[in-house]
Structure formats: C-alpha cells, structure tokens
Structure 1
Amino acid sequence: MAVVDDLSIQMNTADDAIATLIFAHGAGANMDSDFMTEFTQLLNERHINVIRFNFPYMQQRLVDGKRRPPGKMDILKESYINRIKQYAVQLPLFIGGKSMGSRVAAMVANEDKVKGIVCIGYPFHPQKKPEKLRLEPLQQANKQVLIVQGDRDALGNQDEISDYALPTNIHVHYVADGDHDLKPRVKSGFTHLQHKISAANLIKTFIKEQS
C-alpha cells in the first residue's frame, strides 16, 4: 500500500496491476468506511489499483468533527477532476464510486484520461422521491459505464430502472435482494460478501474489456 502526502487521498496498489480505479465515497461515509476499505481489498486482489479520496466537505468533517452536507456539485466535480489530472501512471484509468461518488464520476466521465466508469449503487433518485431522476450524467457520458445495483435499492430498484431510457453504453447488473449497499436480507440465502465479490468480479471483467 502506498499513501500519498495529501491526507485526503490514499492509493492501494495491487500486485501485477492491470488498471487503476479512482473510487469515490458516498454522501455519508468517508474513504475509510468499512465498505470502501473492504471493496478496495477485493479489487486489489483482482489486480486493480485503487485510489480513494475524500471530497472537501468530508475532509473538513474529519478535521473539526462537524457533520455537514456534501455541498455544491461544482465543488465535488472539481475535486474529482483534480484527482484525474493528478494521475500520472501508465496503467489504464477508470473512475467511479459508491452512490454519490458514482454520480459525480459520471458527471466527469468525459475527461480524456478516463477509459470507463464504475458505479456501485448509483443514486438514480433521492430516497422516496422517484420522480426526481438523476439520469442526465449517465445520458451524457460518452464512455462505457458499468452499474452494479441491488435489485431492491431504495435509490433505484430493478423495476424502476427497467423503465428508464438509458443509452446503450450503460450496463446495469443487479445483485439479488441487494439494498443500496448491495446487502441482501438473511432470508434471501445470499451474503453481503458474496455480492461484494460478485461486484468486484464484474468490475474486473469490465476493466479488461475496456482496457
């Protein structure tokens, strides 16, 4: 593992890496959350370098302990674009994130260095507000986009998504009985780890296809 000097960014390197993924956190949990950490390890095991970072509002929260909302989307986009511009490794670069992080990644998908986009639990709409769709970033992305979504995700479930007019470069894969974190209920017979592993395998296949 290599950690850069900037405390708001961390790079976890993999053996015999085939690509690098910049992986952004969701609205409520930072880059060191259990999900982000565990998923990074799964990707490293699949020979994918992972760069995690905190958006400015989250880094400030860690400094002063005060909870604050994500802030303006322009600031989030600028933060993500800066991470892309800093990337100087020869390996193919992919970008993505968890929930809000994936939405921001989709908004900056057309940056030249980017080979493709990876979304875990894309927030198609706010919770309990299915009429407020967030399809525009996906519709405007000119790269291939992989979305791994729980089929009962409260921010966009399978029944809802099947009715959306998504471009052909958007590829949605569902995990059975998964919620917004891909977590299934016990009665489903699946485990959270199984779904995380499935998602990591899908991402590796996607990256190899686009590299």
Structure 2
Amino acid sequence: MTVSPFTADGVVADVHRPHTDPIGLVVLAHGAGGNRDAKILHAYADEFCGRGFVVARIDLPYRQRRPKGPPSPSTAPADRDGIRAAVASLRGEADGPLVVGGHSYGGRQVSMVIGEDGGGADLLLLSSYPLHPPGKPERARIEHLPDITVPTVVVHGSNDPFATTDEITEALTLIPAPTRLVEIDKGGHDLKPDRKPTAPEAADAVTALLAGEPS
C-alpha cells in the first residue's frame, strides 16, 4: 500500500493505493469536528485498501477553508458539491465499483448527494449516521432517505447518542434498496476503531452487498 496527497480544483485528499490492480474505489468524508486524518477514516482506508480498493480520504470544503470548528448549515450545499467534485476527480483512479461514504456529518452529506442525483455511486457507506441530535429523536434527519436507490451499509455503535439501534433500523426501512446494518457492540459515535472490529465488519458488509448477497 502507498499513501499520497491528491489535490485538484476544490479537492484535497490522501489516497491509499494497493500494490495490486485495484478492484474499485472508496471515497470517504469526515465528521463535523474532524478532517481527513480522523482515526476512523484511517481505519477504513487501511482495511479497504488491504482488500484491493483505492481509498481516498477527503477534506470537505468547510474544512479546507478553516482548520478547526464545525460546519455551518448555510455551507452544507457547498460541502455536497465538494463531494461531487472529489468523486469526479478521483473516479479515474480505479475501475470497478464506486463506494462513497463518510462518518457522521460527512456521511449525511454524502447520503444527500446520493439522494439528490445518485452521485455515481454503486454503494453508500454511512458510518455513525447522525439520525437526530442527541436527546432529540423528534428531529430525525430522514426526509431524503426514500430517494436513496443504491445499496447502503450503516455502521452503528449500540451506545451512539445520535440514534438507538431500533431507531436506525427503522430509518433504514425508508431506503428502497438493499441495506445492511453493522452494529458495533458498546460502540459510541466514534466507533472506537482501535478497540472494536469496526473496519473489518464494515468492509465485510460492503463486499457482501456489492456481491449481491442478501441482507
């Protein structure tokens, strides 16, 4: 595996490339408080690259503008455009299926891109999808889920305050495509990739859905 920086117009990423011919491409976006160096993205990148995928960890546009601080709702559309730009710039890195996903805020924005126009993706990977603000289940972020038409894997910690397992399971029924839930026992919103089998179990689920195996 090699890791190298990648820059293009509006795109900043680190790209993991396997030593063998790649079998596909994975593009991953970070959560609200992080950047492309987030521990969870590194764990996913190492796991997927070890299985033959090219993996790009991207910085969303708001993070490119400033190194710290949360995103603003007013700039979320620009972050979604940044995801589209990253996919367009990186697609030539590998033939085969395209997996697009992200952790928390990044995953939510990716899911909205795919709900809006498909994003060119063959599979959606949502890591700790922030279904609702902690303690506010009435503010569920589900409006766009019926518009997602690609197979979807959700990696969810059983102790995540942004959704219970029952809540995330019910939300997945709104997606009119094959879905698979990977529950990380006693995992929080960060999914503890250094202590839990988060990345291997996520990769198992992704490869199974790409192969058309039933949920």
Q: TM-score, normalised by structure 1?
A: 0.84
Aligned pair 1:152/2:154, yes or no? no
Cα 1:201–1:70 shift into 2, 3 Å: farther
Q: Distance in 2 between the 1:37 and 1:142 partners?
A: 27
Give the unaligned 5+ runs of structure 2. none
Task: State whether residues 30 and 54 of structure 1, in contact with CA within 8 Å, keep that contact through their aligned partners in structure 2.
Answer: yes
* Structure 1 residue aligned with 2:77: 74
Per-residue CA deviations over 1:106-131 (Å, capped at 9, x if unaligned) read: 11113362111111111111122111
> Paired residue for 2:108, among 99, 103, 106?
103
After superposing on structure 2, the runs of 4+ consecutive aligned residues of structure 1 that deviate more than 6 Å are none
Q: Distance in 1 between the 2:76 and 2:119 partners?
A: 20
Aligned pair 1:27/2:32, yes or no? yes
Tell me the CA shift for residue 103 of structure 1.
0.8
* Amino acid in structure 2 at the alignment position of 1:167: I
Q: Distance in 2 between the 1:175 and 1:68 partners?
A: 26
Alignment map for 1:121-132 (pairs within 5 Å): 121-132=128-139
* Structure 2 residue aligned with 1:188: none
* Structure 1 residue aligned with 2:5: 3
Q: Distance in 2 between the 1:70 and 1:18 partners?
A: 36
Q: Distance in 2 between the 1:33 and 1:162 partners?
A: 26
Task: State whether residues 23 and 96 of structure 1, in contact with CA within 8 Å, keep that contact through their aligned partners in structure 2.
Answer: yes
* Structure 2 residue aligned with 1:201: 204
Cα 1:162–1:3 shift into 2, 3 Å: closer
Q: TM-score, normalised by structure 2?
A: 0.82
Q: Distance in 2 between the 1:122 and 1:68 partners?
A: 16
* Amino acid in structure 2 at the alignment position of 1:204: T
Cα 1:204–1:16 shift into 2, 3 Å: farther
Q: Distance in 2 between the 1:45 and 1:19 partners?
A: 12
Task: State whether residues 40 and 50 of structure 1, in contact with CA within 8 Å, keep that contact through their aligned partners in structure 2.
Answer: yes
Per-residue CA deviations over 1:108-164 (Å, capped at 9, x if unaligned) read: 113362111111111111122111111123221111111111122111111323444
> Paired residue for 2:51, among 24, 46, 50?
46
Q: Distance in 2 between the 1:98 and 1:21 partners?
A: 13
Cα-Cα RMSD? 2.3
Give the unaligned 5+ runs of structure 1. 185-190
% identical equivalent positions: 26
